[in-house]
Amino acid sequence: MSSATYVEPAESEPEIALVGGDVTEGVVRVGDTVRRPVGFNAPLVHALLRHLEEVGFAGAPRFLGIDAAGREVLTFVAGEVAGRPRPGWIADEARLASVGRLVRAYDDAASGFVLPEGVRPFPGLTEQPDLPPAPPYPAELIGHMDFTPDNIVFRDGQAAALIDFDMAKPVSRVDEACNAMVYWAPLGDPVDADPLLRDVDAPRRCRILADAYGMSDTDRSRLVEVAVLRSRRSWFSMKQIAETQGGGWARMWQQGVGDQIKRREAWLERNGTAIETALTAP
Ligand SMILES: Nc1ncnc2c1ncn2[C@@H]1O[C@H](COP(=O)(O)OP(=O)(O)O)[C@@H](O)[C@H]1O
Ligand SMILES: [Mg+2]
């Protein structure tokens, strides 16, 4: 393919399938690189990864170019990703705090990134009359917005790097903190939680994340509202993306992610006060 920009090393290496992601088919490791199909958000993601490299942010793979098969080439980030079944440390509070610090470091590094002209953020989603609005707070940065345990690489027991920037889009810091809480507190009905996270004190874990991130008082008071609005919007957006993109997105929808999002919203109605109290207590 003539658009290849990545120069392969002289010695070729075998392709090893990387499993454990939610959506993307055909993620492979080749030597010290990862090859992924180019997704709809790739123009933004590639520019963002270049920015992170320029500012010296160590917690993300480097974008190396496009290979002869038309796949994006990223550096392989060494370390430990949760995988399934989840490892026992998934509920560990020190790990949780390290996630909050990594998200904060990423947000600070991303806050100087300016979207290149002509790049449309997250073009996989079309605004439609039935799409509930995003939270009414101004975008502060291009957020990662997908802090699942499988998208965080740990080293020495600490969250060290983020991978999988496909969901990146303009958001506020409270959106980022909220997304991390969805997966790590977690925010959702316990029936949908991993057994290791089913009986945890979610409000307490929200507080640990908030403190590690260094959330402002204003953002703490907005968290529950943002979580509810993001839940409502994500039910429609996931449905729309499943219909338009198919593949792994459609599979996730068929597996019931929509019902899980509805249960999260109901759970937030029941637990919102406890979360807000934990976040704002002195
Ligand atoms: N740059 C990378 N460095 C190390 N591991 C990676 C990298 N990219 C992907 N992986 C591994 O492959 C898995 C799936 O990749 P990911 O990009 O998250 O795909 P998906 O979109 O399906 O979630 C990840 O959970 C991780 O284990
Ligand atoms: Mg992933």
List pLDDT tens digits, range 29-71.
Answer: 999 999 999 999 999 999 999 999 999 999 999 999 999 999 9
Q: What is the pLDDT of residues 109-133, one digit of tens each?
A: 999 999 999 999 999 999 999 999 9
Instruction: Report which bound ligand comes closest to the CA of 23.
Output: 1
Predicted local confidence at residue 100, as pLDDT: 99
Predicted local confidence at residue 1, as pLDDT: 41
How many domains are there within the chain?
2
Ligand 1 near 150 CB (within 6 A): yes
Closest atom of ligand 1 relative to the 18 alpha carbon? 12
**180 CA → ligand 2 middle, Å:** 14
Amino acid 142 reads I
Average pLDDT of every residue of the chain: 96
Please answer whether residues 227 and 176 qualify as being in contact, where contact means their C-beta atoms are separated by less than 8 angstroms: no
pLDDT grade for 2, boundaries at 50, 70 and 90? very low
CA dihedral sign of residues 109, 112, 115, 121: positive
Q: 158 and 257 share a domain?
A: yes
Q: Is residue 81 part of a domain?
A: no
Q: 38 and 170 share a domain?
A: no
Q: Is residue 83 part of a domain?
A: no
Please answer whether residues 38 and 3 qualify as being in contact, where contact means their C-beta atoms are separated by less than 8 angstroms: no
Any idea of the CA torsion for 87, 91, 94, 98, to the nearest 10 degrees? 80
234-263 average pLDDT score:
96
Q: 215 and 194 share a domain?
A: yes
Of all residues in the chain, the percent with pLDDT exceeding 70 is 99
Residue 155 phi, psi (nearest 5): -135, 135
Ligand 1 near 81 CB (within 6 A): yes
Q: Alpha-carbon distance 64 to 261, whole Å?
A: 35
Ligand 1 near 176 CB (within 6 A): no
Boundary (domain end) residue, out of 44, 75, 106: 75
Structure tokens at 30: 């080749």
Task: Please work out, in degrees rounded to the nearest 5, the angle formed at the alpha carbon of residue 40 by the alpha carbons of 84 and 46.
Answer: 85
Q: 147 and 259 share a domain?
A: yes
Instruction: Identify the residue whose tokens are 């006060």.
Output: 273
Q: What is the pLDDT of residues 141-164, one digit of tens each?
A: 999 999 999 999 999 999 999 999
Closest residue by Cα to atom 12, ligand 1, is: 18
CATH of the domain at 254: 3.90.1200.10
Boundary (domain end) residue, out of 27, 42, 75: 75
Q: 34 and 140 share a domain?
A: no
Spatial CA neighbour of 183 closest among 18, 22, 19, 17: 22
Of all residues in the chain, the percent with pLDDT exceeding 90 is 96
Amino acid 256 reads G
Q: 190 and 247 share a domain?
A: yes
Ligand 1: which of 147, 163, 165 to mutate, judged by most atoms within 8 Å of the beta carbon? Answer: 163
Q: 219 and 194 share a domain?
A: yes
169-198 average pLDDT score:
98
Q: 64 and 147 share a domain?
A: no
Ligand 1 near 74 CB (within 6 A): yes
Closest atom of ligand 1 relative to the 23 alpha carbon? 22
pLDDT at 87 over 50: yes
Q: 145 and 271 share a domain?
A: yes
Q: Is residue 247 part of a domain?
A: yes
Q: Is residue 7 part of a domain?
A: no
Q: Is residue 102 part of a domain?
A: yes
240-258 average pLDDT score:
96
Q: Is residue 270 part of a domain?
A: yes
pLDDT at 204 over 60: yes
Ligand 1 near 164 CB (within 6 A): yes
Q: Is residue 162 part of a domain?
A: yes
Q: Which domain holds residue 250?
A: 88-280
Q: What is the pLDDT of residues 176-189, one digit of tens each?
A: 999 999 999 999 99
Closest atom of ligand 1 relative to the 166 alpha carbon? 21
Q: 204 and 239 share a domain?
A: yes
Give the 3-state secondary structure of residue 248. Answer: helix
Q: 92 and 176 share a domain?
A: yes
Q: 132 and 255 share a domain?
A: yes
Whole-model pTM: value is: 0.97
Closest residue by Cα to atom 2, ligand 1, is: 76
